[in-house]
């Protein structure tokens, strides 16, 4: 949605790190999420972070949150061909239950 913005495309070489960026406008955003969508499939939850955290690491995934700049990033280490997909950033606020999504970043992994 208009409250969450992402760059549309990212191309990365296999084995390199990918960094997908997201900015949001609502300073009261409390929960921020990353979802992955492969062709013809629904959204798969990758990871999420609460606004009282600056960083969260989960295996090859690292999420960084800069609350001052309202900027969220997802780093994928050692990117593989199976990481090719559309990645969505989403946010919600305390006491709100619906997520607002960005338009998605299409990640293409090249050999």
Partner 1 sequence: GAGVSQTPSNKVTEKGKYVELRCDPISGHTALYWYRQSLGQGPEFLIYFQGTGAADDSGLPNDRFFAVRPEGSVSTLKIQRTERGDSAVYLCASSLGDSGSPLHFGNGTRLTVT
Binding site for partner 1 (CB under 8 A): 1, 4, 30-31, 33, 35, 40-45, 48, 50, 88, 90, 92, 94-104
How far apart (Å, rounded) are the C-alpha atoms in residues 71 and 60?
A: 20
Judged by beta carbon, residue 83 or residue 104, the one nearer partner 1 is 104
How far apart (Å, rounded) are the C-alpha atoms in residues 54 and 93?
A: 17
How far apart (Å, rounded) are the C-alpha atoms in residues 53 and 23?
A: 16
CB of 71 to partner 1, least distance (A): 18
CB of 16 to partner 1, least distance (A): 26
């Amino acid at each position: 949605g208009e409250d969450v913005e992402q760059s549309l495309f990212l191309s990365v070489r296999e084995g390199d790190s990918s960094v997908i960026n997201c900015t949001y406008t609502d300073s009261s955003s409390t929960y921020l999420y990353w979802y992955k969508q492969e062709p013809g499939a629904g959204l798969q939850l990758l990871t999420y972070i609460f606004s009282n955290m600056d960083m969260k690491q989960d295996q090859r995934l690292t999420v960084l949150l800069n609350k001052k700049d309202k900027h969220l990033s997802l780093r994928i280490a050692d990117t593989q061909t199976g990481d090719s997909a559309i990645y969505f950033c989403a946010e919600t606020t305390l006491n709100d239950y619906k997520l607002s999504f960005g338009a998605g970043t299409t990640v293409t992994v090249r050999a």
